[in-house]
Amino acid sequence: MGLKRRRAVRETPPPETPPVITGPRALVTIDALGRKCPIPIIMLAERIGEVPVGEIIAVKADDVAARTDVPAWCRMKSQDFVWEETLPRGWAFHVRRNY
């Protein structure tokens, strides 16, 4: 009795689904993808004044340091870190302007 070879079965990855919005939408989105910290923070600090008080600004970044730097900046500057969105490449950090 001979042994039968098993065929390799290729698993096809699931189709990419669009990101699911789970928090308030941003009025302004800063694209800092490909930039290393502290550049995403500097961009946020320069542009947060573009949104009215109480509104949301988002920063897209793929540097892992931004995951701690953006919430820390919000605490230092008394802004609200609202939520973090996972993107196909990096994250979007949503910040509510308080003043």
Assigned domain for 21 exists: no
Range of the domain at 54: 28-96
- What CATH number is attached to the domain comprising 33? 3.30.110.40
pLDDT in tens, 37-68: 999 999 999 999 999 999 999 999 999 999 99
pLDDT digits (tens, 9 = 90+) for 3-39: 666 665 556 555 565 556 678 899 999 999 999 999 9
Verify cis geometry, omega within 30 degrees of 0, for the bond prior to 52: no
Domains of the chain: total: 1
Tell me how far apart the alpha carbons of residues 54 and 45 are, in angstroms, rounded to a whole number.
16
Task: Identify whether 16 is part of a domain.
Answer: no
Amino acid 41: pLDDT: 98
In a domain, 17, yes or no: no
State the pLDDT at residue 84.
98
Assess if residue 46 is contained within a domain.
Answer: yes
CB 60 within 8 A of CB 87: yes
pTM greater than the 0.85 cutoff: no
15 within domain boundaries? no
Best CA proximity match to 93, nearest among 47, 38, 2, 31: 31
- 61, part of any domain: yes
**How far is Cα 37 from Cα 79, in angstroms, rounded to an integer?**
19
User: Which residues are known catalytic residues?
Assistant: 37
